[in-house]
Structure 1
Amino acid sequence: MISSSKSIKSRNEDSIMIENRQQQSQEDEEEDPFLRFVDYARSLLSPENNDSVLESSTPSWSWIVSRILKTCIAYSSGVTAAILLSDLSLAWSEQRRFRVPKKMPEWIEQLKKKNRRTKLVNTVTIDSIYEKNFLSTSSVLEAVVVDAFVLPGTNIYMLTLGDFWSSNNIDLYLHRRYYDLVDPCHGILRKGREVFLTGCYLRTAAEGSGYPRLLPTEYIVILLDEDQDDDAMLLGAQFCSDSFSSISLDAFTEGASYSLYARIESMGSPETQAISGCVQKKQIILVDNDGVKMKFLLWGEQLLLANLFSVGNMLALDKPYIASSVDDAQELCLEYGSATQIYMVPVIQHEEQVSISLTQNRCLGSRMLSTYDPSQGPKVSQLTLPCDSQGSVDFRNYPFRAFITDLHDKMTGISLYGCVTDILWDENIAKTVFRLRIRDTTGSIWVTWKIRSWPHHIYLWLDMLHDKTKAVTGAAFVNLSCLPAMLNSSCLHKLSLLADLSKQNDATHICQVWLDQVEYYHVNTRLSHSLCGHFLDNSPSKFMKCNFCHCACDSEVVNTFHLKITIADESTKIFAWCTGETASELLQISPDEFCELTEEEQIMYFSSLENERFIVAIVNCQRQVLGPRDGQTQEYDDVAWEITRAQKCE
């Protein structure tokens, strides 16, 4: 009985300790200047009369954060609140142009209402082309044919194009490979037809010569609607008789052509192929109605076409070029040839109702909290988000910050803000693929990541979430602890004293310090892998391998510092370590220059550094990096604090 009571008491004490830690962690985040600025910026960009944070006129939390970080990367010397707010305001105004209703013909309005596609990443509006008098070749136009006509006195066909967001139209010189599709009676390129196009050049209007026009482009995709009788008949009559299994390279060589219908299963990243020089290649995997897969390859400038495709879309390829695979002569693949024309049935954008958890309702930002009445329950309970053909819900435009406790199966486009506590490498998974444990105020989660550096306090985009504990994949991250702009951006941080560091172990601290002591025996030059910054064995070898990336790095080896140093401020002094650019900045010398000095000159050089003042970013680095067999490795001994970025005070 006594034992049982002690056990219950112990569990209660553990519970209280956990609750206290969570409460302290939440209080620390509420004091985080970066998060406070995000909430402040979002409140300024939200309409004054915004009764619902779910309106499209309100930017999402992740959009605000990613835009701030993008500006910080562009302004590496630091940013002010005015710079950030100005950039956010301009970027948000530009983005909202797609949502502002424009005066347009009724029949285009009807097409717009039927449009349930997700807008492509590089899409620009016709109005923006006129405003900027510029068009990048990688830009995408999601257009509607307003008219097709022949220039008077010529045999040159023109298309007049509009879009769903613009009040202006623009004329396109039609490429001759599409002339057979503009027959006034039977042509498919006629009024009301939707098209995607890219690779366009803008012919600007010279003085007194009319208005801007688009020059011919080969890269046009014609959209089909299976619910329209004419389009359904075209697909059935022309594209359903051939399949991937029926393709014969010999028959193609003798003049046979194929019309194929298949779904885009995946799209690879561009690769460099050494064929007649260095040519870029992009591989798209298609699956036909029989479940047979085949590669569709794009080469060189043709990679622009991939900007028009999305996974799940159905492609109707008329007269593709048939070739043997570069890697396997027995394998056939499709290519975009001189006679190829592409039709596409876009994947329909499905939507799903998502419940808003109490986590978000607790953290809606200053404006909503000021009007929130807990007795009335959550202010917002549900919102509608798009989902893909596999049922994964896209949280890219989710209005709130996502916390780890909110994650569940079938989520994509998630953004997390937190601290990396562990890195695990498993030799059975793949080389250079690691597992990171990310922690925020609500819990922690393992993320699979192909990592090239050691992250600390990070902002992370999750590409796909299949299972909360086993298969979370990271798409991109920004390491705030190493971001140069953070040191000079007072709106995104507050200065800490060294004596306060132990109160917030998970935070990145910005401190103004001086060098208190630089010992000769604490300054080492070592070989490191230039891509990830981690040390190599100093023993010379023909085949050098990075112990962190687990890959050969013979041509990517540089000299770098491993520095342990005592820094001080008015409150106390601490012992810390750093490497790479940060160590070079503190020592005000490069490793190669340092190695050229004699031992006596090196010792004298250190004495001249004492009392030099710096602004530094400091993190607690007592975390684990686990290898496949050797357990925890302590490359940097037991020094608790790492200086991740430093800048000399002028």
Structure 2
Amino acid sequence: MDPAAAASADGGAFLEFVDYAVSTLSSSGGDGYESPGDGPAPARPPWGWVVAQVLKSCCAYSSGVTAAIILSDLFQSWTEQRKSLTSKRKVELTKLINTRNKRRLPNTVTIDSIHEKNFLSPKSVLEAVVIDVFALPGTNIYMLTLGDMWSASTIDLYLHRRYYDCIGQYGILKKGREVMLTGCCLRTAMEGSGHARILPTEYMVILLAEDQDEDAMLLAAQFCTYSFSSMILDESRNDVPYSFYARIEKIESLEPFRCTERKQIVLVDNDDAKMNFILWGEQVLLANLFRFIPLRLRIAKYISLDYSNLNILFSVGSMLALDRPFIANFVDSNHEESQELCLEYGSATQVYMVPIAQQEEQVPFTPTQMKSQGPRLSCLPTDNVASQVTLPRDLHGSVDFSKYPFRVYVSDLHDKMVGVCLFGTITSVCKASASGTTFYLELVDTTGVVLMKLIFIGPWSLGRVGVGHLVYISGLACTMSSTNILEVSWREKEPGSLFVNLSLLPALLNSSCLHNLAPLSDLPRSTNRTHGACHSGFAHGFQLHLTITDDSAKVFAWCVGQTAIEFLQISPDEYLELPEDERAMYLYTLQNESFMVAIANTSKRVDGCGASDEAPPVWEITRAQKCDATASPRDVYVDFELWKVQEEKRKGLRYSLHA
């Protein structure tokens, strides 16, 4: 029997294997605790990352997995991740490129690839630095020579006339300036007629840095005069060339207007006033310069992982400087102009962006974490074992724990934590809203109990979760309420949100490296039961009440679904087709069958359903696997001798077997 599912809050053999895997990867990947940010790859993998990778292997090999397979998958994934973090890029323009922004947008193309393919899609993004500004001889046509940090070559761009005010002795567009462009087309090089050039594009964003004197002076002189509130109150607003400086709060799509695509960028100024910046039609290409969409990976039906560990869109939180936007009335979903004002990308509009700077915080290891690791820290040299780690911090001051090297326990939770993962046993489940999209789950580990609020996009989508089930959950956020109570929440739609019910994973029972067999006598003898059973649905199914026994003890338990079918070796529909006397005979033929089972304590449960007349037993068998004739005496034997069949009708036909 698997004690990891037997009302054990510490996870037993599964967590022992995780700790072993962490130590193995740490000893093979370098020394010390380097920052898990965008710099050198950390020597120790994040604890939550290792758990997620092990579960990924369990889903990939549902019939069972060996320690060698898991460690091989882990080592390959960890090696690839470290290489991606430490790989040296070709940098020909190091002195010209500001090192604050090194993350490529999804559609970014390199200058080398443009020359190689002799093609450039209008949807592509070009992140570049200005190498030179010059006029074509004998004309008033200006060109920019552009380079990027990933290419050895450069390319010339015909500058759109809307940016001519930005060049010259006092212009912002000069050598060393970073820009981002989209909506570009290529004038390909014809035989004997020079080289490829980029045709003029209206969609260019100029990057500024507040810590640079020239940029700070520009922002102060041109963009800090007006606020959204002052513009709204000004009746002569259409005659004023406004410039605004505001933070990007959200980027989202709007309902099309007469088949014209629209996107909305929600801006917040220094007075916390909000204004929508609307992009129409071809202008939506401009949103490509702001968006970074995290890679979301779905693993079977159990897991949703986000390996980018980015909580929000890349540019959310960055500052946008809008020069001379067009002021209009917002067009709502009914295709009618409202009195609400919005900003649009007009013929004279220019856009500057100050990218968000990555904030970090030193987080000390708690006594609980250090004590839980114990001798496992011996895998690293003593001189390099630090007492804290550097973690990224978001705009609201919350620290991202998604890359934290150690396990986080319930007792470690505090205000302003995001990306937290917990491992423990469910002690209660409760529906919090009539819509069925919000639930409360209570989880316990070896240090305490926490109540978590789960918010779903639609109805519950995590499958069956019951009291006593062992679960892993990541993407939790912790905030302090106005009444000074710690609130822990989880949102299904947030990147990095993951919920896995280990008690129902077939691979755990089939993988000897992830569980230990134990006698029934090791189970705690708690008989306190406040269990409400929920009978609903229209499919035929079993709910079995049965006695399991080995050479040490007997336990009265229950099971449903596939586990019940595994015991009976027959489907509900097939069972219903049998005459009543044959059903009884069928049960007698199953006496003294041998199974290996995972068992959970359901002594406390609140699930929003009405209590039944007869509550199920304390123990739930979550998984069962039939053993062969040479089974060990410690394997569980099932006694069917005293069973009888009782028929119930609750919205459909459902069979229960009661002792």
**TM class by smaller structure:** 0.5 to 0.7
Given candidates 519, 523, 537, the residue that maps to 1:502 is: 523
How many pairs were matched up?
Answer: 557
Q: What is the TM-score when the length of structure 2 is the normalising length?
A: 0.64
- In the alignment, what sits opposite 2:478? 465
Matching residue of 1:60? 46
Instruction: Provide the secondary structure at the position in 2 that maps to 1:624.
Output: coil
Q: Any stretches of 5+ residues in structure 2 without a counterpart?
A: 1-5, 293-312, 492-496, 527-532, 629-659
2:210 match: 226
Equivalent residues in 2 for 1:106-255 (5 A)?
107-108=94-95, 111-112=98-99, 115=100, 144-145=129-130, 160-163=146-149, 180=164, 188=172, 190-195=174-179, 221-247=205-231
Secondary structure in structure 2 of the residue aligned to 1:625: coil
C-alpha displacement of 1:263: 1.7
- On the 8 A contact 1:39/1:365 being kept in 2, the answer is no
Q: Is residue 21 of structure 2 the alignment partner of residue 40 of structure 1? A: yes
State the one-letter code of the partner of 1:244: F
Which amino acid letter does the alignment assign opposite residue 68 of structure 1? Answer: V
Rounded to whole Å, the distance in 2 between the matches of 1:361 and 1:312 is: 35
Structure 1: which amino acid aligns with 2:366?
S
8 Å Cα contact 1:47-1:57 kept in structure 2: no
Contact between 2:31 and 2:380, CA under 8 Å: does it hold in 1? no
* Cα-Cα RMSD: 5.8
Aligned to 2:229, what secondary structure does the other structure show? helix
Aligned to 1:261: 245
Alignment partners' CA distance in 2, 1:34 and 1:203: 59
TM-score by length of 1: 0.65
Q: Given the alignment of the two structures, is residue 493 of structure 1 paired with residue 514 of structure 2, yes or no? A: yes
Task: Identify the residue that residue 365 of structure 2 maps to in structure 1.
Answer: 356
Which residue of 1 is the match for residue 559 of structure 2? 577
Q: Is the 8 A contact 1:146 1:160 kept in 2?
A: yes
2:377 aligned counterpart, secondary structure: helix
**Which of 241-250 and 436-445 deviates more?**
241-250
Q: From 525, 540, 544, give the equivalent of 1:564.
A: 544
Contact (CA 8 Å) 2:453, 2:489: kept in 1 or not? Answer: yes
Cα deviation, residue 502, structure 1: 2.4
Amino acid paired to 1:65: V
Letter in 2 for 1:33: F
Q: Is the 8 A contact 2:182 2:201 kept in 1?
A: yes
Deviations 1:60-106 (A, max 9, x none): 22222233334544565655445444443343344333334556357
* Paired amino acid for 2:616: D
Q: Secondary structure at the match of 1:222?
A: strand
Q: CA deviation at 1:111?
A: 3.0
Amino acid at match of 2:442: R
Are the equivalent residues in 2 in contact too, given 1:587–1:609 (CA < 8 A)? no
Kept in 1, the 8 Å contact 2:421–2:474? The answer is: yes
Paired position in structure 1 for 2:644: none
Give the superposition deviation at 1:462.
4.1
Q: Which has the higher helix share?
A: 1
Within 5 Å, give how 1:250-649 maps onto structure 2. Answer: 258-264=242-248, 266-267=249-250, 273=255, 284-296=265-277, 304=288, 305-307=290-292, 309-318=314-323, 320=325, 322-324=328-330, 326=332, 329-334=338-343, 341-364=350-373, 367-369=376-378, 379-426=385-432, 432-450=437-455, 452=460, 453=462, 454-455=464-465, 456-467=469-480, 469-475=485-491, 476-481=497-502, 484=505, 486-487=507-508, 490=511, 493-494=514-515, 496=517, 499=520, 502=523, 559=539, 561-564=541-544, 566=546, 575-579=557-561, 597=577, 603=583, 610=590, 618-625=599-606, 627=608, 633=611, 637-644=615-622
CA–CA distance in 2 between the matches of 1:617 and 1:135? Answer: 57
Ranges in structure 1 where 5+ consecutive residues have no aligned partner: 1-24, 506-533, 539-557
Q: Which moved more, 1:248-257 or 1:190-199?
A: 248-257
**Distance in 1 of aligned mates of 2:54 and 2:120:** 26
Instruction: Evaluate the alpha carbon distance shift between residue 54 and residue 649 of structure 1 in structure 2; reply closer, same or farther with a 3 A threshold.
Output: farther
* Percent pairwise identity: 38
